[in-house]
Amino acid sequence: MDKMWAGRFSKETDSGVNAFNSSISFDGRMYRNDIAGSIAHATMLGEAGIISKEDSEAIIAGLQSILADIEVGKLELDMNAEDIHMFIEAELTKRLGSIGKRLHTSRSRNDQVAVDIRLYLRDEIKEIRGLLEKLITTICDTAEKHTDTIMPGYTHLQRAQPITFGHHLMAYAQMLLRDIGRLDDTAKRMNVNPLGSGALAGTTYPIDRFLTTKLLGFTEPMVNSLDGVSDRDFCIELASAISTIMMHLSRFSEEIIMWCSWEFKFIELDDAFATGSSIMPQKKNPDVAELVRGKAARVFGDNMTLLAMMKGLPLAYNKDMQEDKEAIFDAVDNVKLCISTFTPMLATMTVLKDNMRKAAAKGFINATDCADYLVKKGMPFRDAYKITGGLVAECIAKNTTLEELPIECYKEKSGLFDNDLYEAISLEHCVKCRTSYGGPAPESVKKQIGYVRERL
Ligand code: ARG
């Protein structure tokens, strides 16, 4: 194939090198963005008088026809091309002859690729954001049904204090809201225009970078041309934001996996979102949640790939940077896949309230409330804590619970105890009284749900 840069070479490129160098198999997905960038560039060239208005219009029409042909499948990407940029320019020249050869005036593939990735990822961020909003809405909808569903809250995976399932779910809504914030921050810093940076040192043509900025919907032109072509911070920022999303989904998945086990049995997944075993007929496995947890690992890997790829690069462009795309595309593809499978899995699961309530009854999760009962009657907390510890030990020895321990046993430890104790340590009461801001009381969780819905 006759290369656009063949001028100074006297030999054909080795076929292995061609294949090694080529990126069209993975950057081909940016064809729309490449064409949008080229249309903005051609418009600007015409407006600035760098090429004639007629040539500019012909180029724009040619690019539009290429786009239309790719969209309907009339034009297939040639996997022998070096990359999507070369492919589209070559196709344009095939269609327009020498007019097509004017498109690349005062532009380099280095600023071109930087524009394309930004435009591509800008759209992807919108999609991920939309998927997160749906997931958060599903969480709110489910939490709303479970503001009274008592379950044990855990620390160290040991039963700790009573909460509700709604409260537990809403913790994830907060994490995912912050994730949306991180995506928004990333989108803001990403949305600047590298076009016009040239190969690295700008250009001698009277280009108008503010015009292409406006045409492409960027907020401003990048201020330094070397930075314009060698910055991939936005990929790293996005991969990091996506990694945090995956970390959250992975924690949530881990809990779902535990809750599905016979040891917990707090939930049951819908048959459509679980899988069986090839040998054990009784099995119903939470494969989806496990895969989400597994995929978090590869996305963290993508993030690390990008950091490591950039750390030793001198300014400005280096071919190493071609490796950015597979890493960030993998992160983007997988986070979208995970959220869109996770959301319906969550929406369709059955919550086994009774099992949660039974688990809450064991493990002395109202011990703090028992100590607080004494404190409210005037005892210093540390003394109350010690007495309650003794009562828990007595319950363990007698194989009973604080609720069932007779009042005489209490009175032996402190004269402050009376029959109203049993009301104070009933789990329903313990949850209802946790009305502190952000706490698990049903009223408080309803407020949390309102807070989250308002921010969506
Ligand atoms: N395919 C290249 C990439 O993805 C495009 C930029 C090539 N620039 C260059 N000077 N070889 O990074």
The ranges of the chain annotated as CATH 1.10.275.10 are: 13-105
The ranges of the chain annotated as CATH 1.10.40.30 are: 359-455
Query: Which of 13, 88, 109 has most ligand 1 atoms within 8 Å of CB, for mutation?
Result: 109
Ligand 1 centroid–CA 278 distance in Å is 47
Ligand 1 centroid–CA 283 distance in Å is 50
- pLDDT for residue 280: 83
Tokens of 60: 């724009």
With beta carbons less than 8 A apart as the criterion, state whether 62 and 100 touch.
yes
With beta carbons less than 8 A apart as the criterion, state whether 445 and 166 touch.
yes
Q: Which CATH class is domain 13-105?
A: mainly alpha
Instruction: Reply yes or no on domain 359-455 having CATH 1.10.40.30.
Output: yes
Residues tagged active-site: 156, 277
Instruction: Reply yes or no on domain 110-142+166-207+225-350 having CATH 1.20.1090.10.
Output: no
What values do phi and psi take at 351, rounded to 5? -95, 125
With beta carbons less than 8 A apart as the criterion, state whether 231 and 176 touch.
no
User: Does residue 23's CB lie within 6 angstroms of at least one atom of ligand 1?
Assistant: yes
- pLDDT for residue 4: 81
User: Does residue 110's CB lie within 6 angstroms of at least one atom of ligand 1?
Assistant: yes
- pLDDT for residue 53: 98
Ligand 1 atom with minimal separation from the 84 CA: 1
- pLDDT for residue 34: 98
Ordered per-residue pLDDT tens for the chain, 456 residues: 578 888 889 889 999 999 999 999 999 999 999 999 999 999 999 999 999 999 999 999 999 999 999 999 999 999 999 999 999 999 999 999 999 999 999 999 999 999 999 999 999 999 999 999 999 999 999 999 999 999 999 999 999 999 999 999 999 999 999 999 999 999 999 999 999 999 999 999 999 999 999 999 999 999 999 999 999 999 999 999 999 999 999 999 999 999 999 999 999 999 999 988 888 888 889 999 999 999 999 999 999 999 999 999 999 999 999 999 999 999 999 999 999 999 999 999 999 999 999 999 999 999 999 999 999 999 999 999 999 999 999 999 999 999 999 999 999 999 999 999 999 999 999 999 999 999 999 999 999 999 999 999
The ranges of the chain annotated as CATH 1.20.200.10 are: 110-142+166-207+225-350
Ligand 1 centroid–CA 73 distance in Å is 26
Per-residue CA distances from 247 to 119, 280, 300, 332 (Å): 26, 31, 9, 14
Taking the mean position of all CA atoms in its chain, how far away is CA 207? 38
- pLDDT for residue 1: 54
Q: Measuring from atom 12 of ligand 1, which residue has the nearest CA? A: 322
Query: Which of 85, 110, 229 has most ligand 1 atoms within 8 Å of CB, for mutation?
Result: 110
Distance CA 442, CA 262 (A): 28
